[in-house]
Amino acid sequence: MTTPPTSPSHRAKSKVTRRTMIGAAGAITAAAVITPTVMATTNDSDGASIDTDETKAGTTSETFPKTRAKAATGEAPVEAAFPIGYVGVRWEGTSGASGGGIRLTDADGGQGAWQDFSAAGCSETNGGALLIATDKASGYELKAPDGSTEMRSLALDTQEGPGRKVAVPSDPTRVRGVAYLSRPAWGADEKLRFKPDGTENTPTAYYPFQTIAVHHTATVNDDPDPAATVRAIYQLHAITNDWGDIGYHFLIDEAGNIYEGRYSGDDGIPAHDKDGNLVTGFHAVGYNIGNLGIALLGTLTDQGPTDAARESLTRLIRVLTRFHGVDPKATVTYKNPVNGNVKEVPEITGHRDWFDTECPGQTMYDELDRLRDAAARG
């Protein structure tokens, strides 16, 4: 197994990724919020600059790989002109993964053995979704899960593509003392949020906070490049799912690094507007409004989170619940102000409290009471 790095990796290391560690517990309630007003600076593959902002005070220029993708449908073999780091798979008709599998083709044209889909991922009833690490394969072939329909796949490279310049905050960003990687710091390509005509695919909308939902991403454990995995999830959610952005408000890797998820503007704490209202994400269909989604990278079915991830999750939930003045151990009546959905749930939920899904993995789900207790202390 590969030991996960202490910070997300990409082509150029910076002060942000080296220094972005969780702040001291005593600083959680006292530290000021820092949310830099910085947009990603992107270069075309031929080097032509777009929205250049590299000299903005308080930022430094870093180079991230441009994401390359190839979409396909059905079970026919797929080849790509780039090394495939991940394959995203979605299907309808069943929430199970039984009978589904993938067979990879290596760079020399050799075919590997069939690998069964291990789970249906972080998805709702009547469908499944997986992001499978494929270690620079040249192609793949799929078998659809039993009873599934409309299977789609996406070959992804978020590690080896042409470089693009991004303006990254020079200093660590923090939310009430807890450090996090801003969207520029993990290489979010803000162009993915916009349609070809320049309009925002899903404009931000803000509503009062109500609950927190914990997820796992059902991706590889001992992830050697978690920032690349976050960029792959972003591509799947924003483009393949047509959500216009990554679905979660925050993500946490095995080293304890916290990633800013859904874009929320530049005038409030991450995931919120200046008035403290929550930006609507895309992680619990029908129950997204006022519901803050946090995803732990990895598969937490047979194992729990690492100590570092667990500590970061606890600290993040502690500051968020204090910010909103709610009890992490409470049971509440969630009410969707748009569609009228009502559900009695814990203040801190697992994804399966909202739907019939395996997420956030059985082991993580069994830890939620411990998480609620820990978030309420201190």
pLDDT tens sequence across 229-288: 999 999 999 999 999 999 999 999 999 999 999 999 988 789 999 999 999 999 999 999
Residue 200 is given by DSSP the state B
- Tokens linked to 73: 């449908």
Of the three residues 128, 157, 186, the one that is the final residue of a domain is 157
In this structure, the answer to whether residues 126 and 203 fall within a common structural domain is no
pLDDT at residue number 287? 97
Q: Are 65 and 10 in contact (CB under 8 A)?
A: yes
Q: Residue 237 belongs to what domain range?
A: 15-62+172-376
> Pick from 324, 328, 265, 252: which is nearest to 294 by CA?
252
Enter the pTM of the model: 0.85
Task: Indicate the helix (H) or strand (E) that contains 319.
Answer: helix 307-324
- Domain presence at residue 338: yes
Residue 236: CA count within 13 A, CB half-sphere:
28
Neighbours of 192 (CB within 10 A): 17
pLDDT at residue number 56? 63
pLDDT tens digits for range 129-181: 899 999 999 999 999 999 999 999 999 999 999 999 999 999 889 998 999 99
- Angle between the N-to-C axes of helices 368-376 and 307-324, in degrees from 0 to 180, rounded to the nearest 10: 60
Residues in the chain with pLDDT values less than 70: 1-57, 120, 124-126, 378
Of the three residues 157, 187, 215, the one that is the final residue of a domain is 157
- Domain presence at residue 186: yes
Residue 27 is given by DSSP the state G
